[in-house]
Amino acid sequence: MSWSQTVEKTVTGLGYELVDLERTGGGLLRVYIDRVPGHAYPTGEHEFVTVEDCEAVTRQLQYLLEVEGVEYARLEVSSPGLDRPLKTEAHYARFSGEQVQITLKLPFQGRKKFEGQLQAAPEGGGWQLIFTQDKVEQVLGFELQEVREARLVPVINFKGRRKAAPAASQDGQEAGATDGGQEQ
């Protein structure tokens, strides 16, 4: 088993998702983890990775990497951040409906970068990004192999990505959220 498979098996065994893994020439081993929705964690019901989550994974990885004889100078375990990368089909499915920024490998109509709402393609194959260009709604269909990089667009209010329930207006009728469905 390779060192990367060992790290992935350990992280997933602890109930976390391995988002990304980097190894630099200077001996730095960087591991990005995320919480799995619906999983109960001993550190509490938080939507995002906590310092305690990173500490728990770090302790386990330090022990395991020593036992396996994997050489490294420094180990960093952290959250993927607010602009979390999307790398697998499962990532795209989990964050369908969210605002994402994608960079294509090859330009489409003269550009590679697009930002909009991620959705599964209605015909069941691939993905689509719904965005506005020149005040006109556009739909860009794509397959994962066409994407160089995809990231969530950060939520600036730091209250998370949960959708807010429609607020009632003064006349008692529901009013649409004016913040794109984010919590206030």
Residue 183 lies in a domain: no
- Residues 141-158 have pLDDT tens digits of 999 999 999 999 987 765
Lowest mean pLDDT among 42-46, 120-124, 146-150, 177-181: 177-181
- Residues 39-63 have pLDDT tens digits of 888 777 777 899 999 999 999 999 9
Are residue 100 and residue 147 in the same domain, yes or no?
Answer: yes
- Residues 88-98 have pLDDT tens digits of 998 999 999 99
Find the mean pLDDT for residues 22-36.
Answer: 92
Are residue 9 and residue 65 in the same domain, yes or no?
Answer: yes
Are residue 59 and residue 105 in the same domain, yes or no?
Answer: no
Of 51, 53, 27, which Cα lies nearest the Cα of 39? 53
The predicted structure's pLDDT at residue 42: 79
C-alpha to C-alpha distance for 167 and 172, rounded to whole angstroms = 9
Residue 158 lies in a domain: no
SS3 of 83, please?
coil
The CA-atom distances, in angstroms, between 145 and each of 95, 100, 111, 127 are 18, 17, 17, 11
Number of domains in the chain: 2
Are residue 54 and residue 114 in the same domain, yes or no?
Answer: no
Q: How confident is the model at residue 3 (pLDDT cuts 50, 70, 90)?
A: confident
**What is the span of the domain harbouring residue 60?**
3-78
Q: Kindly report the CATH number assigned to the domain that includes residue 39.
A: 3.30.300.20
Kindly report the backbone phi and psi dihedral angles of residue 96, in degrees, each rounded to the nearest multiple of 5, phi listed first: -60, 135
71-101 CB burial, b ≥16 within 10 A, e <16: ebeebebbbbeeebebeeeebbebbeebbbb
Q: How confident is the model at residue 169 (pLDDT cuts 50, 70, 90)?
A: very low
pLDDT at 182 over 60: no
Strands (E), 58-110: 74-78, 99-108
